[in-house]
Amino acid sequence: MGFCLLTLSSVFAQRGDRDEDKTLSPYFVVISDNPEIDALPLKETSVNTVIVGSIADVTVRQVYVNSGKNALEAIYTFPMSTRAAVYGMQMTIGSRIVRAQIEEKKKARADYEQAKQEGKRASLLEQSRPNVFTMNVSNIMPADTIIVELKYTELLVPEKGVYAFVYPTVVGPRYSNKERSDNAPDDDFVRTPYTHAGEKPTYGFGYKLEIRSGIPIQDIHCTSHKMRVNHADLRRATVTLDPSETAGGNRDVIVNYSLQGGQIESGVLLYEGADENFFLAMVQPPNRVAKENIPPREYIFIVDVSGSMWGFPMEVTKSLMCNLIMGLNPGDKFNVVLFSSNADIFSPTSVDVTEANVQRALDFIKGANKWSGTEVLDALKTAYAIPLPDQDMARTVVIATDGYVDAESDCFEWIRQRSGQANFFAFGIGSSVNRYLIEGMAFAGGGEPFVVTSEKESAAQAKRFREYISTPVLTRIKLGGSFKAYDVEPAAVPDMMAERPILIYGKYKGKATGSLTLTGKVGRKGWKQSFDLSKVKADTANAALRYLWARERIKYLDYMVGQNADETNPTAKQILALGLKYNLMSNYTSFIAIDEQVVNKDGKQVVVKQPLPMPEGVSDYAVGYDAAPMLMRSGAVPNGKGMVLESAVVELEIEEDETEEEEIYSLVETNPEFPGGMDSLIAFLSRNIAYPQEAIDNNVSGRVFLSFVVEKDGTITDIKILRDIGSGCGAEAVRVVKMMPKWKPGMMQGKPVRVQFALPINFVIPEE
């Protein structure tokens, strides 16, 4: 067997060393006080939405102003709905309007860079994820005001008769363990500056929504912002942002409305284009059958306990998990996997739903440490590796996370390849979750996404989940009839488990004739609904159908190709062709607008990344205290050994000097749990660490670097793997550090303070 040599060393240098490693990670902004530079060129973003029937048409307006004395290039990262089909963009400078063109992504980037160097104003819209976009605006000259407008459309899908229009406002910080030298260009958005938790956005926010319905509007309200609602006309309503909410761009806007009698805008829509015809069938679901005998099931709950979840999101998660677990049937079994930089299992095998087991599981979740890192793929692998209690028992996997991780495509592919092993459901927790990850995981697993934005919603969403999985509404759904449809999406309609309409997009040849028929099973009975298309007229007002169909096809291909496949990939070629043909944004197409007037002859300009607000309710742990030097503007002052922050976090940077090392050692030497000082600590860790068999088999040895924080009460938190050697060594080191007893807390001026340490552990295989 091997053994471990253990030493205690200095805390890693904070942002400086992070830059040395060129890690891809967000950081806290330092606002420049240089009057020559406008560090905040985005002055306002506003949204104007018109909903006709079930189709929303949205215009997003971004206003950039340069109040400094240097030419600027502004870079702004922002989210959008995963259902959005972005079909247009224009740039306005004074009285000049430049309409953007759709181009292949690399060509659009090259054209933009050339225009920038030539001193021309240009704007470039690129997609990093289906819900994350980046706007680049070059050569914003002093006193310039440049307005960029982009347009998109999306289909609203009601559930239980309630429509919801969601406008995401801010991209949450993404955890990434990639080095910047290894990342793809689409991952650049991860390295984004953020303001601190609780600070208002640096730009204004505006919002207006108009609803036009063929059925009287019964109820309309906004759950996220204070709004003014004008509903004087039964079939038309207007919603505008209250003036007190102009700083509300740090959380998603959510407007819910329903129609009279719980009806939905169902039926078939047709659009006849110049060369192609499109249809959309939106069919009211049948009523659920009475609940019958349901065989026992196994539920595995995966819970994100990483830094960004702590505070409001974690409290919401605990409440949600309590509701979910306590709502299981007595014959079911369950398990819990916690994850951050590593995964932790509640039980090696799933346990029965008993009062004692439920309480132990809730205590397990509530006792979780706020670790760093968001290794969601490891958590998925850990959950699926749990042995199934009974081969005839159906497994359901439920994940709860804010989704702040840069690993979407890996997760989608991993879940998709195992879609037959479990039903998969995803809960997004927080005010501005990564909906692409949440919806994508559910899509890949054939399940359903849920989003919980507040603690008061957790009980209702848990109830909705239980109702959703209890009895499918409709199964074995088939599309038929004499209607000549082709290129239908989805190709196979999955079982319907929620009371929402059936949606089928497609194309058709010639005139719409014949019938479109849907069949299926409601419980044990057959179900059928037909539409006589000779009674349905094509309408030019339905032109959005071509975008919606193409976006639905691109969405399917996006999940299948993965995020960073290049344009030579056959599936990527299909996405590129669709984007160019239908004038749509995609991972392989971009919008580019160039004003041919040369305004900056030498081409020199200052690059400014527009800082984003921390999503409401998310703490600074989402970025991490290892970015401490970026807090200088908040009052941090040097103390000769590192940084003393207003929040009383002490970051000790000890040089290789025996006298200074003694100051770290003194915390150990005076700790009553380690009466022998450093020797006792080394003995404790060495006694408890087991050299992983995988590392022995693979002849792996080397040094694992961890960091951890001794809290004011002496508990150990924020355990991070700074450098791993693989084969389970890093996970084993974390496991044993978590076992350490309380320390005597560090003291400064007679008061306890948090102290962060770095710990190298040498895994050495001795010579025989």
Tens digit of each residue's pLDDT (9 = 90 or more) over 328-362: 878 889 999 998 878 899 999 999 999 899 889 98
Does pLDDT of 21 surpass 70?
Answer: no
Specify whether the CB–CB gap between 586 and 622 falls below 8 A.
no
Mean pLDDT score of the chain: 81
User: What pLDDT score was predicted for residue 547?
Assistant: 96
User: What pLDDT score was predicted for residue 196?
Assistant: 84
Q: Which of 48 and 513 is assigned the larger pLDDT? A: 48
- List Cα–Cα distances, 477 to 241, 502, 518, 533, in angstroms: 42, 9, 7, 20
Residue in 135, 138, 144, 136 with CA at minimum distance from that of residue 121:
138
* Conformational region of residue 307, where left means phi above 0, alpha means psi within -120 to 50, and beta covers everything else: alpha
165-187 average pLDDT score: 80
Topology alike, domains 26-262+585-609 and 297-470? no
Specify whether the CB–CB gap between 270 and 539 falls below 8 A.
yes
SS3 for 638-676 is ECCCEEECCCCEEEECCCCCHHHHHHHHHHHHCCCCCCC
Reported pTM: 0.66
User: What pLDDT score was predicted for residue 511?
Assistant: 87
User: What pLDDT score was predicted for residue 748?
Assistant: 57
User: What pLDDT score was predicted for residue 18?
Assistant: 35
Specify whether the CB–CB gap between 733 and 761 falls below 8 A.
yes
Report residue 726 as tokens: 């693989």
| Residue 240 backbone dihedrals phi, psi, to 5 degrees | -130, 150
- Which residues, including other chains, have CB under 8 Å from residue 184's CB and lie 6 or more apart? 563, 564
At 627, the pLDDT band (50, 70, 90 cuts) reads very low
645-656 average pLDDT score: 27
Does pLDDT of 236 surpass 60?
Answer: yes
User: What pLDDT score was predicted for residue 563?
Assistant: 60
Cis, bond preceding 615 (omega within 30 deg of 0): no
Report residue 678 as tokens: 């450093």
At 644, the pLDDT band (50, 70, 90 cuts) reads very low
Does pLDDT of 759 surpass 90?
Answer: no
Does pLDDT of 651 surpass 50?
Answer: no
What is the distance between the alpha carbons of residues 336 and 351, in angstroms, rounded to a whole number?
10
What is the distance between the alpha carbons of residues 136 and 146, in angstroms, rounded to a whole number?
12
Does pLDDT of 621 surpass 80?
Answer: no
Q: Which of 629 and 547 is assigned the larger pLDDT? A: 547
309-331 average pLDDT score: 82
Q: What DSSP element (H or E) covers 413?
A: helix 408-416
User: What pLDDT score was predicted for residue 659?
Assistant: 33
CATH number of 26-262+585-609: 2.60.40
What is the distance between the alpha carbons of residues 704 and 336, in angstroms, rounded to a whole number?
28
* Tens digits of residue pLDDT in 549-600: 999 999 888 877 766 677 788 889 999 999 999 999 999 999 999 999 999 9
What is the distance between the alpha carbons of residues 643 and 631, in angstroms, rounded to a whole number?
10
- Provide the terminal-to-terminal Cα distance of the chain, rounded to the nearest Å: 10
Q: Which of 686 and 329 is assigned the larger pLDDT? A: 329
The helix/strand/coil state of 625 is helix
Residue in 248, 202, 247, 250 with CA at minimum distance from that of residue 39:
202
313-329 average pLDDT score: 83
- Which residues, including other chains, have CB under 8 Å from residue 386's CB and lie 6 or more apart? 300, 335, 337, 345, 348, 349, 350
pLDDT cut 90: percent of the chain above it: 39
Does pLDDT of 110 surpass 80?
Answer: yes
What is the distance between the alpha carbons of residues 172 and 252, in angstroms, rounded to a whole number?
11
293-320 average pLDDT score: 81
**Least confident stretch, 207-221, 416-430, 638-652:** 638-652
Does pLDDT of 648 surpass 50?
Answer: no
For 263, other C-beta atoms within 10 Å of its C-beta total 16
Report residue 183 as tokens: 């990342």
At 370, the pLDDT band (50, 70, 90 cuts) reads low
Specify whether the CB–CB gap between 135 and 62 falls below 8 A.
yes
* Tens digits of residue pLDDT in 401-457: 988 887 787 888 888 778 768 878 999 988 888 888 898 888 888 788 999 887 778
Does pLDDT of 637 surpass 90?
Answer: no
Could you state, in order of their start, the residue ranges of all structural domains in the chain?
A: 3-17+623-764, 26-262+585-609, 274-292+474-539, 297-470
Does pLDDT of 472 surpass 80?
Answer: no
Please, which residues bridge with residue 136 across strands? 75, 124
- Which residues, including other chains, have CB under 8 Å from residue 169's CB and lie 6 or more apart? 78, 79, 205, 248, 249, 250, 251, 252, 253, 432
Q: Helix axis angle, 355-366 relative to 312-326, nearest 10°?
A: 170
657-684 average pLDDT score: 47
User: What pLDDT score was predicted for residue 17?
Assistant: 35
Please, which residues bridge with residue 132 across strands? 79, 129
- List Cα–Cα distances, 614 to 14, 199, 583, 619, 729, in angstroms: 21, 8, 33, 8, 34
User: What pLDDT score was predicted for residue 242?
Assistant: 96
665-674 average pLDDT score: 44
Report residue 25 as tokens: 């990670």
**Least confident stretch, 306-315, 342-351, 494-503, 654-663:** 654-663
Specify whether the CB–CB gap between 736 and 685 falls below 8 A.
yes
Q: Which of 755 and 462 is assigned the larger pLDDT? A: 462
Report residue 68 as tokens: 């400094």
Q: Which of 528 and 394 is assigned the larger pLDDT? A: 528
User: What pLDDT score was predicted for residue 8?
Assistant: 36
What is the distance between the alpha carbons of residues 181 and 161, in angstroms, rounded to a whole number?
49
DSSP state of 162: E
How many residues does this entry show for the chain?
768
- Which residues, including other chains, have CB under 8 Å from residue 337's CB and lie 6 or more apart? 300, 301, 302, 303, 343, 344, 345, 346, 379, 382, 383, 386
Answer whether CATH 3.40.50.410 is correct for domain 297-470.
yes
Q: Which of 544 and 720 is assigned the larger pLDDT? A: 544
- Pairing state between β 649-652 and 751-764: parallel
Q: Which of 18 and 479 is assigned the larger pLDDT? A: 479
Residue in 692, 699, 703, 688 with CA at minimum distance from that of residue 763:
703
Most confident of 445-449, 508-512, 754-758: 508-512
